[in-house]
Amino acid sequence: MADPQMIALVPMKGHSERVPNKNMRLFNGRPLYHTIMKVLFQSRDIGKIVINTDSETIAEDAMKHFHNVQIIWRPQEICGDFVSMNTIIAYDLSQLEGLHFLQTHSTNPLLTTETLNAAIKKYFNHLDTYDSLFSVTRFQSRFYWEDGKAVNHNPKELLRTQDLPPVFEENSNFYIFSKDSFKKAGNQRIGLTPQMYEVNKLEAIDIDDSEDFQLAELLHKHKRKST
């Protein structure tokens, strides 16, 4: 890790509601969070990795398997399943010196170091225009609101899906921001003038439930065999 100005934040709590023990659950033979840690450590643009956790098991495992990782213990008042990630980030920033931060999750095991390096480069190259960057997934499909009204198309025209205006999903893979932009946006990781960074659908898979876990594990295993 060469560039000390970018600090990676990896929040991980011990409890997981939909996938029990998710962060420590074996993923192709290793705890799930090991995969994103390996990706971060391989990045030439990340100078420090910080894990915020309430779990002694996660903290002990991280210190055993990864060198130079800083552990931030999550205070009781911001523990639980209903605490905003921005609240956790705000606490981390209050404990850390540094200007620029990348926040990601253990639940994005298909992310690559190449994607993160490219996103970091884009962030720094456009700081004169944008104050932050977040990852998105492009969709060109026919979307509807719950009441049946079309979101991004006219049902009477029936354009080809490839001709529809794209819709972008905030996929939670990563957010890049500065301490200053976070504060100015009212303690929000997406700043006042953000830019989007597209991640392809396979790489952008996020593990929310057991089906996601199985799919990500299969894709990750296939990827390892093909490289």
* Full-model pTM: 0.91
- CATH number of the domain that residue 73 is part of: 3.90.550.10
Q: How far apart are CA 36 and CA 19, in angstroms?
A: 18
Which residue has better confidence, 104 or 68? 104
- Residue 147 falls inside a structural domain: no
- Residue 180 falls inside a structural domain: yes
Dump pLDDT digits (tens) for 104-163: 999 999 999 999 999 999 999 999 999 999 999 999 888 899 999 988 888 888 888 888
Q: No. of H helices and E strands in the chain?
A: 6, 9
pLDDT at residue 1, rounded to an integer: 40
- The domain of 12 spans 6-130+172-191+205-226
- Residue 139 falls inside a structural domain: no
Dump pLDDT digits (tens) for 195-220: 999 999 999 999 988 899 999 999 99
Q: Are 27 and 107 in contact (CB under 8 A)?
A: no
- Residue 135 falls inside a structural domain: no
Q: Which residues pair with 49 in a beta bridge?
A: 8, 69
